Structure 1
């Protein structure tokens, strides 16, 4: 239908007193036009469409004055006039995007309702979903009004007399299912909506593997066939995601996020990212380390020992160009080798302190290395819950000092060392800078922090409520990550280095059946590695090996399980290579030969022998079991309609039928007020000594208020600081920089800020 015909068929638009609300009035006019049209339709779907449009009009009338109140007070919480952004603005923007979504939907119905092919039942569900969405946002706005009454001028964090529990006890009346169904991702830019929808479908499908029954391969195959139902049934997907986020343990979060570490995803950077000259995995041995302070004094850097004693720290070294003194795989001198760089970037990845590694962050690190032309060392710190606070901070500090002492082998003079990190990694970087100030170690030349949490606690700020609708960081996931990192079980303190194998999970445990002679045989059959491939530097390899027993001493564990047999058979077409696992230790990874087809997983060749391939197959099977959970996982007993229901063989069905509960139900723990855990709590004396700091956040990030308040605090203390707030992107957008043009633009903004730090 032409624009002129559209205007003729729909009710005329009336401009309200404020131009901001023109879109709100347009939605009401379109809804009224559609409601009048379907009023004469006596079918069930027609009457439900009629009621749905009338409900939308009521919701718009109800929410408009509340949004207006929040919109008017939001500017007083900004970092400055040139940087509009805080949790109040985020919710106002979210409501505006919902209204915009309603306008598009209503206009589409208005244009196609006379068509013979008009799908009445489909649009009925879409209109009802939009109405529920606006109603839930209205409930959120009422809670924001409570927060406004708690806030003092310009302060997004209320004082301690106002607890999060008080606020969240009333959040249970928010229908969270509407945020993960048909309207999933409505608040983000168009390119991210498709990505987030795909991730949500994958999360729901992955739960079938994680909580299902039968063998690993059977569950994986079943999820491929049944996963399509989450695409066709958005309501089922919404129930599954909300219930997973509220009832699943941190191990599910960890396992799902570890999918980014799989071989298939590991090959993605090589296919879509620019090539780099050097991409090496380095093992930093836990040896005595002396650091020369700026005043010339020698400082002994503490070796990381928390929870399970000394262990190697893994890191990934990337460089777009080869420089003098740099460790490479090249046997001959490279012509036109560049002189050492004056800069060095030390990077810490995000992942909620519980998942991911430098490998899963290569998607943007390669691009940064090529744009900045500066060597990058990305630290694979140990992860919670196996390695809770302060283990990761200890390792990051040690790796930072080691990098300065050994900058030459990374092709740098380390005149300017910039600490770069996103999310949890950015939090660790602030802690490292604070430790340097405390110990007298040379501080970094600058800090770049992307969407950083500076308060590891359940603080009642407006942006934290965005977790109630965030597809990547639901409220339950955030709670469990914080608890796993900051509140380890009391008996963790008694663990010693003898427990290391148990704690390390897939890394060391998976190699228990592989002898030294097997490793030598494997190394002899490894093919040459091209530039940019993952390799383990030979200088540090000895620090990884732990004197394995002789081959003949390996015990016979009986017939291989189906998982082990399937994995060993795959080795007939695959070659093992070295990489790091999620805990930062060397593991075998599968690397395909050129002739292997993409669907080799579904064309298993017959098993040939029970030699090295079998034993390594068991090792890889152990890794797969750790990531996906070979044994069917159980959810805790739940209460529904007054009856106790434990999840056994019917766990998947029960998971879909669980009742939504209040987020406050998960908050039965206390996070210590440690400034190295929550840098916002650090003393002014320490914070004012921080180096120039650049912070990048996004408007729809649950930690946006953390970034705004931390930037305000640093500026007040005289620290050179800047803050960028990017629209339309989610927390963790850097990992999608090669898939979304808006995320790519945000990544380029980060490069610009890092470059400014290097040139200061």
Structure 2
């Protein structure tokens, strides 16, 4: 029996799986009858709202039942339930649970004199709109079932249906209901609070981004607009949906950059475990050869796409100082013994949609991973699109990987075991590096850990990808603009300017990756005179973390040649000492004698430090917006429905637009296996190292992970898949603030430890 035939199976509302649906319908009827006799406007709205919710429950329940019957055939295996069809069943279940809680709350308080009818009428109406939109999604999923073969989430038949066709089907879905009063209902409770806060920040930031008032008015506007979006969920929903539909990739980059502002950038040092080593390293683009197993040698390609040759930046984190890292001998600056080199090394690539973020913005979990694993972690800061689209980032990560193998002694490791680790876009790059190693005959990594990885960088129809219409962190518009900027730079995504020589037509300082420029902008000198917002004058090699306080400069370099080379060519400056305190470090410019010494101010008390951090917040936002405007001075908000002078950008952000998403996202992504590893040949995939994949039940990339894991399993590769529930895409960045997210992070640590073959330590990992 095919999946489409199975949809005709009879539905019984009284089945145990739908007891909650029946309960919601009964509660709706009870409340509707109570308010039927209420002649007030609020009472009549509640009466009509409950009737609507009850009707939608009756329409949605059979659709969920039919999908529930066929969903198991799309799982990775019987012990790992998870795919896009199951995800939507889970979302509807959570919506029903939300409706039951709301109905019970109203039942308990409807007789009270203080009962707010207008408030609860809006809540009930929002729940009804939510169920109606989910019903439209479920009908679309049934259409998608008819497009493909049973058990195939990405099937050859599905490729005959374009992204535009899927987008036209979504026009009837009311996306506003997912970003208003019910925002984040499908996630665990701790993440709901975080996502609502981020959504309010995004809505408020959009006003600063497009209006750009003065610094003082920015601070005032942030407080006022933030409160407005907190009190008016409908206004927030309109703003967020319109941002998703119209804002450019520059807005996405600028908003995600907020995590690296001076205030937020200090959070990892406050709430995360302290690390003894946190250094930014500049890897020079020098000729590099690698020995093949047969004894022949192969030249490692030097990154040169789009912006010419430039150093590759990376961040080294370690819970303890090890031989090779230390420029002195015997003991570190705090008198602790220096450990021998680790036999293992973790090379990490951060996420950010290929267009934003850096190793610094991912320190929230990298610090803890370095401490839990007890091995050095090297996080690569690859260049970002749209200035450096595909394949620039892949070239840089491959080069950094090969450099790390040749210089492992400088990283405190013997590199007997090397595992590539990454999340989202970074995981995609790691897969490309492993395939490049197979192609070029380079040493393959000993394992791959991939968190919520996109393996098919194209908008082919798949059920989990429909989740992006309700994802607060990865909405559909953001995802498509990032994809276009990285994979299709010639389609107006902001392709880089190139000179006749093939290099970017910019100053030499701008040849550094954009992530480095943004990090430098976010980490201004803490001692610039007069509170100036100007950037500290540093050499190319001193693009790193901000200076740290309450420590003396590091010891001078020893006479060992490898230590001298590390100081002269690679080390920038230390970010934290073993207590997480800031330390000033002497940095040396590559190929020259110029040195820049960052002086450390006296460490103030906690209240004073918080006051300084708050005072720097608005200046950091202003600096961020200044960079955004200098990179792209043209207007970023140009909706098709309005002329340039008809309405202000802020007014358009709050308007209710009827716009088809298919109007803009009409572009073709090349079927390059290094862009979309799903297209790689079986011969290449069979040679991949042991692979551990972690995905999320509510992640738009879930189907990518499931289908890729199934393909590797069919080819006889060693592969495992974990599907975690209740967390959003990018949850690792919130592991310090959510118990569930922290549990997911610890599962990642366990899987990485298994790939490294390390013995489990008493760190609480199950």
Q: Please, what TM-score do these two structures have when normalized by structure 1?
A: 0.85
Matched, 1:57 2:54: yes
Matched, 1:594 2:603: yes
Residue 291 of structure 1 deviates from its aligned partner by 1.8
Residue 330 of structure 1 deviates from its aligned partner by 8.3
Quote the residue 1:692 is aligned against: 690
Cα separation, 2, equivalents of 1:258 and 1:445? 33
Residue 633 of structure 1 deviates from its aligned partner by 7.1
Deviations 1:384-435 (A, max 9, x none): 1111000000000000000011111111110110000000000000000000
Secondary structure of 2:282's partner? strand
Secondary structure of 1:171's partner? helix
Contact 2:284 2:310 in 1 (8 A): yes
Quote the residue 1:9 is aligned against: none
Cα separation, 2, equivalents of 1:246 and 1:363? 30
Secondary structure of 2:477's partner? helix
Secondary structure of 1:361's partner? helix
Contact 1:734 1:743 in 2 (8 A): yes
> Which residue among 652, 673, 697 is the counterpart of 1:654?
652
CA distance change for structure 1 residues 526 and 196 in 2, over 3 Å: closer, same or farther? Answer: closer
**What does 1:68-79 align with in structure 2 at a 5 Å threshold?**
68-79=65-76
Secondary structure of 2:672's partner? coil
Residue 158 of structure 1 deviates from its aligned partner by 3.4
CA distance change for structure 1 residues 498 and 171 in 2, over 3 Å: closer, same or farther? Answer: closer
Quote the residue 1:757 is aligned against: 755
Unaligned ranges ≥5, structure 1 = 1-14, 547-573, 580-585, 605-616
Quote the residue 1:306 is aligned against: 305
Residue 335 of structure 1 deviates from its aligned partner by 5.1
Residue 94 of structure 1 deviates from its aligned partner by 0.2
Residue 459 of structure 1 deviates from its aligned partner by 1.3
Residue 116 of structure 1 deviates from its aligned partner by 1.1
Moved more, 122-131 or 282-291: 282-291
CA distance change for structure 1 residues 325 and 590 in 2, over 3 Å: closer, same or farther? Answer: closer
Secondary structure of 1:657's partner? coil
Quote the residue 2:531 is aligned against: none
CA distance change for structure 1 residues 370 and 476 in 2, over 3 Å: closer, same or farther? Answer: same
**What does 1:52-451 align with in structure 2 at a 5 Å threshold?**
52-159=49-156, 160-327=159-326, 332=331, 336-451=337-452
Cα separation, 1, equivalents of 2:229 and 2:586? 36
Residue 515 of structure 1 deviates from its aligned partner by 9.8
CA distance change for structure 1 residues 618 and 49 in 2, over 3 Å: closer, same or farther? Answer: closer
Moved more, 472-481 or 595-604: 595-604
CA distance change for structure 1 residues 591 and 72 in 2, over 3 Å: closer, same or farther? Answer: farther
Cα separation, 2, equivalents of 1:48 and 1:591? 63
CA distance change for structure 1 residues 208 and 591 in 2, over 3 Å: closer, same or farther? Answer: farther
Cα separation, 1, equivalents of 2:166 and 2:373? 45
Cα separation, 2, equivalents of 1:47 and 1:17? 30
Quote the residue 2:505 is aligned against: 499
Quote the residue 1:479 is aligned against: 480
Contact 2:263 2:613 in 1 (8 A): no
Cα separation, 1, equivalents of 2:690 and 2:542? 51
Cα separation, 2, equivalents of 1:632 and 1:123? 45
Cα separation, 2, equivalents of 1:445 and 1:246? 42
Cα separation, 2, equivalents of 1:544 and 1:211? 39
Secondary structure of 1:169's partner? helix
Matched, 1:709 2:707: yes
Cα separation, 2, equivalents of 1:281 and 1:488? 29
CA distance change for structure 1 residues 321 and 675 in 2, over 3 Å: closer, same or farther? Answer: same
Quote the residue 1:4 is aligned against: none
CA distance change for structure 1 residues 466 and 578 in 2, over 3 Å: closer, same or farther? Answer: farther
Cα separation, 2, equivalents of 1:364 and 1:724? 19
Matched, 1:675 2:673: yes
Residue 488 of structure 1 deviates from its aligned partner by 1.1
Cα separation, 1, equivalents of 2:329 and 2:51? 70
CA distance change for structure 1 residues 522 and 210 in 2, over 3 Å: closer, same or farther? Answer: closer
Secondary structure of 2:280's partner? strand
Residue 667 of structure 1 deviates from its aligned partner by 1.5
CA distance change for structure 1 residues 120 and 108 in 2, over 3 Å: closer, same or farther? Answer: same
Cα separation, 2, equivalents of 1:71 and 1:714? 26
CA distance change for structure 1 residues 603 and 53 in 2, over 3 Å: closer, same or farther? Answer: closer
Secondary structure of 2:360's partner? coil
Residue 302 of structure 1 deviates from its aligned partner by 0.9
What RMSD, in angstroms, separates the aligned Cα atoms of the two structures? 3.6
Cα separation, 1, equivalents of 2:348 and 2:667? 31
CA distance change for structure 1 residues 147 and 589 in 2, over 3 Å: closer, same or farther? Answer: farther
Residue 492 of structure 1 deviates from its aligned partner by 4.2
Contact 2:304 2:392 in 1 (8 A): yes
Residue 588 of structure 1 deviates from its aligned partner by 12
Residue 61 of structure 1 deviates from its aligned partner by 0.6
Quote the residue 2:579 is aligned against: none
Residue 519 of structure 1 deviates from its aligned partner by 11
**What does 1:514-593 align with in structure 2 at a 5 Å threshold?**
530=551, 539=565
Cα separation, 1, equivalents of 2:20 and 2:361? 41
Q: Please, what TM-score do these two structures have when normalized by structure 2?
A: 0.84
CA distance change for structure 1 residues 522 and 242 in 2, over 3 Å: closer, same or farther? Answer: closer
Quote the residue 1:22 is aligned against: 19
Cα separation, 2, equivalents of 1:402 and 1:130? 54
Cα separation, 2, equivalents of 1:211 and 1:28? 45
Matched, 1:626 2:627: yes
Residue 328 of structure 1 deviates from its aligned partner by 5.8
Cα separation, 2, equivalents of 1:339 and 1:368? 19
Secondary structure of 1:401's partner? helix
Secondary structure of 1:105's partner? helix
CA distance change for structure 1 residues 538 and 110 in 2, over 3 Å: closer, same or farther? Answer: farther
Cα separation, 1, equivalents of 2:571 and 2:78? 56
Cα separation, 2, equivalents of 1:670 and 1:520? 38
Secondary structure of 1:355's partner? coil
Matched, 1:42 2:48: no
Deviations 1:97-135 (A, max 9, x none): 000000000000000000111111110000000000000
Quote the residue 1:12 is aligned against: none
CA distance change for structure 1 residues 246 and 654 in 2, over 3 Å: closer, same or farther? Answer: same
Contact 1:28 1:60 in 2 (8 A): yes
Deviations 1:551-587 (A, max 9, x none): xxxxxxxxxxxxxxxxxxxxxxx999999xxxxxx99
Contact 1:349 1:378 in 2 (8 A): yes
Cα separation, 2, equivalents of 1:695 and 1:506? 26
Cα separation, 1, equivalents of 2:598 and 2:125? 47
Contact 1:302 1:398 in 2 (8 A): yes
